[in-house]
Structure formats: structure tokens, C-alpha cells
Amino acid sequence: MRTYRANRGPFQEAVHYTDGDIERIVLEELGAVKLLPTEPEPIRIERFVEKRFGVAVEAVEMKDGVLGFSEFGPKGVRAVYVAKSLDEDETVAGQRRLRSTIAHEAGHCLLHAHLFLVSGTLPLFADISDPNAPKVLCRDLGSDSGAIRPYNGEWWEFQANMAMGQLLMPAPLVRKAAIPYLEAAGNLGVVLLPEESLGISARALAEVFDVNPVVARLRLEKLYKVERSGQMML
């Protein structure tokens, strides 16, 4: 991890995390609160927020297009909120979207809470709750994942989504769950995920980890080379 002066966005400082940084942080944090299973299964993400940050996820009314937000104070995370409409959606897809939103907010809390302690940091999007409380809103841009969205230079959102994927689908557990769908390539121990197996494996892992298939697909594409039309691609 390294920091540098931000030239855009809400923070005085920007922070750069590699994929390895975020994976290490997520695995250490899940392990520290004893919420990292030994075998593939859904991560208790709401319980993680409670144990790690000492706050309960609260459902409140929010403006259209806002899924959740976290508030920060002098001691770090002060509250994590999700949209009441999202919390009340009892469909499988809706509840998985809720899990993604909570994990996205947990990503902000893990990776960005310290940035709010930098002198001069301004409140973010001060349109909900206490207008003087620094917060980050998770906005809905129509994705069925509940948290994955296009970026416009918003490095903090990109990083929160990276953490979201790793929190809901930790790499060691994904690697175990994906074994039946992989194929060996050559004699060097390289494994590939055939393109024709990508959809099947994403749906299967979505059931294992209780996430929407798009989240599982993106995690698989992140962790494995996918063989497409005879070519190997990341």
C-alpha cells in the first residue's frame, strides 16, 4: 500500500492497494474475527461488520439510487447503513444484492477509514443523516450485483468493490470450489478455466457462496486464465 496526494475525489490523500494487498487484508481480517471458513460456504458478512467494527448494519430509508453508506468519526467506523428497500427485498437475488452492498461498505471501512482522519477531509455526499458526518454512499447504477458499477476515476469505489469480491468469495475458498471446472494446461502445473465452463461454474459458485452469478463470474475471471477460442486470456 502507498499513499499520494489526491488530485480528484473527496480525500486529501489517495491510497493505492495491489490485489495482493487487499487479499492479505481481507484474509487477515476474516481470520481475526474467526469468520474465515475452512471449506467453501457463504461468508457471514453482516456478522463480520458487527465483530470487526462494533456496529450493527442498519436499514434506513434512502433516496432512489442509493444502496448504502458508511459513516466515520474520530475513532473510525461509526455506522453502516443499507437501504430499507434493499433489506426488504426477500428474493434470492435481492438478498444477495444486500450481501454485496454490505460487503462493499465493509470494503470502504477496511481500506479507507483512516483517510477520514486526515486533517481537512471534507464530508462526502452530505445529503443523508448528519450533514456534518463524513460518509461514502454506495450508488446503484443498475447492476444486478448490487455493488459492481462503472468507474469514472473513482479509485475508492474500485477498491471497495475489489474488497467486496474478496470478502464474499475469499481466494482460497474459491480455488477449492472451482477445482471441478478447471483443466490442466501443459506440463507446468498451469490450470485454465475453459470458456464453456465459465457460466456453469459461476452459477455453481454463486450457490456455494450465496452471491449473484455476476459476482462469482468476475471472481473466477480474476483468479483464473479463461481459455477463449483457443487463446489464453486473463
Residue type at 167 in one-letter notation: L
Pairing of strands 76-83, 57-60: parallel
**Can you give the pLDDT at residue 125?**
37
Lowest average pLDDT, out of 16-25, 125-134, 190-199, goes to 125-134
What's residue 3's pLDDT?
61
Average pLDDT, the chain: 82
At residue 152, the pLDDT reads: 58
* CA–centroid distance for 175 within its chain: 18
CA distance 21 to 16: 9
pLDDT band at 189; cut points 50, 70, 90:
low
Q: Which runs of E-coded beta strand occur in the chain?
A: 2-5, 13-16, 57-60, 66-73, 76-83, 135-139, 183-185, 190-194, 225-228, 231-233
Residue 80 contacts residue 128 (beta carbons within 8 Å): no
Which amino acid, 152? N
In this prediction the pTM is: 0.82
Confidence of residue 115 (pLDDT cuts 50, 70, 90): confident
Per-residue pLDDT of 90-114, as tens digits, reads: 999 999 999 999 999 999 999 988 8
